[in-house]
Amino acid sequence: MTAFDFDPPVSSVRDIVARALAEDVGLLGDLTSLAVIPVDANCRGRFVTRADGVLAGTAAATETFRQLDPTVEVVWLVVDGASIRAGDDLGTVSGPMRSILTGERTALNLLRHCSAIASLTNRFVLAAAGRTRILDTRKTTPGLRALEKAAVRAGGGSNHRESLSDAVLIKDNHLVACDLGEAIERARTRWPGRLVECECDTLDQVGAARAAGADRILVDNMSPEAVKEAIQLLEGAIPVEVSGNVSLETIGAYAAVEPDFVSVGAITYSAGHLDLALDFD
């Protein structure tokens, strides 16, 4: 098995883990382990889950121990993207006890954060019942986007824009010096071949955006009924993305009208931690 079994780019994982360890280990080291644990003590910990969900972030957890001490061995029984049930064993970490205790918190912070995102994403995906696709947004944690977008994929969601460099998304705010038609024209001229999406707040705007040649419509803060009308209006000509504080309570109603996408910022910014732990034998 190679580093590429894990989705997030290896150099992103490497950098994120290096910063996380520098931050948590400090300049002196793990005072407690250095004082109390013999240099030659070894141990074995089991990654376990105390909650149901979807696993993600194993590459980052593995990298944490690798950077601290290459002699630590991490073995996963479950891969990113797998459903896990409270009580499941997820994998093991074994080797020098000092290294393992020093890395425990950083590895868990990363694993719990990523798994929470994958799990919450998956709840949206399941609630959508295949009638729409769940997208993330750019509302990610600064510095962790590569990990978080990989976790969204592990949870069955898909990735919207990687960054501002990757597609055009025209909102009302952008129309200060030209109308929508000219804005789309400018975007196509400057960035040919890029997706040009237009945010619409009303059905009128939806019609205008279609007429102006948008590649995708983002209907923002509309009711499911309004979304349904927008979809009918568009007649399948271009895809529709629903956005605007969609929750687990409302995703079903939106999915029922079958937009192409529902983008949900909350899957990255409000996922919290999945209750995973490291149990020692």
CA–CA separation, 87 and 14 (whole Å) = 30
Find all residues with CB under 8 Å of 226, minimum gap 6, and list them.
203, 219
* CB closer to a second copy, 185 vs 229: 185
C-alpha distance from residue 184 to each of 123, 211, 218, 223, 260 (Å) = 35, 11, 14, 26, 21
Per-residue interface string for the shown chain with a second copy, residues 207-246, x marking contact by CB under 8 A: ---------x----------------------x-------
| Residues 102-131 interacting with a second copy (rule: CB under 8 A) | 102, 105-106, 109-110, 112-113
Q: Which two tokens stand for residue 221?
A: 């803060």
Q: Which is nearer to a second copy, 5 or 225 (CB)?
A: 5
Q: Is 14 a catalytic residue?
A: no
Q: Which two tokens stand for residue 46?
A: 């089991």
Applying CB under 8 A, among 93, 98, 240, 262 the residue interacting with a second copy is 98
Q: From 81-89, 178-186, 204-212, 226-234, give the range in contact with a second copy by CB under 8 A.
A: 178-186
- Measured from the Cβ of residue 60, the count of other Cβ atoms closer than 10 Å reads 28
Query: Distance between CA 281 and CA 269 in Å, rounded?
Result: 34
DSSP for residue 93: E
| Binding residue (CB under 8 A) for a second copy from 32, 221, 223, 247 | 32
Toward a second copy, which CB reaches closer, 91 or 265?
265
Q: Is 249 in the site for a second copy (CB under 8 A)?
A: no
Rounded Cα gap, residues 13 and 60, in angstroms: 6
**139 a catalytic residue:** yes
Residue 166 annotated among the catalytic residues of the structure: no
For a second copy, the closer CB: 131 or 216: 216
- Active-site annotation holds for 149: no
Among the listed residues 68, 143, 150, the one whose alpha carbon sits nearest the alpha carbon of residue 104: 68
- Which CB, 123 or 160, lies closer to a second copy? 160
Determine, following the binding rule CB under 8 A, whether residue 17 of this chain makes contact with a second copy: yes
Which one from 136, 148, 220, 241 is the annotated catalytic residue? 220
Choosing from 46, 138, 171, 216, the catalytic residue is: 171
Token couple for 196: 């040009």
Helices (H), 173-215: 180-190, 203-212
Residues paired with residue 240 on neighbouring β-strands, in sequence order: 217
Which residue among 44, 66, 138, 139 is the active-site one?
Answer: 139
- Across 125-202, the runs of DSSP E, i.e. the strands, are 133-135, 168-170, 196-200
Within positions 40 to 59, which residues make up the interface with a second copy, using CB under 8 A?
41, 43
- Residue choice 86, 143, 211, 232 for contact with a second copy (CB under 8 A): 143
User: Using the rule CB under 8 A, is 155 a contact of a second copy?
Assistant: no
- The catalytic residues are 105, 139, 171, 199, 220
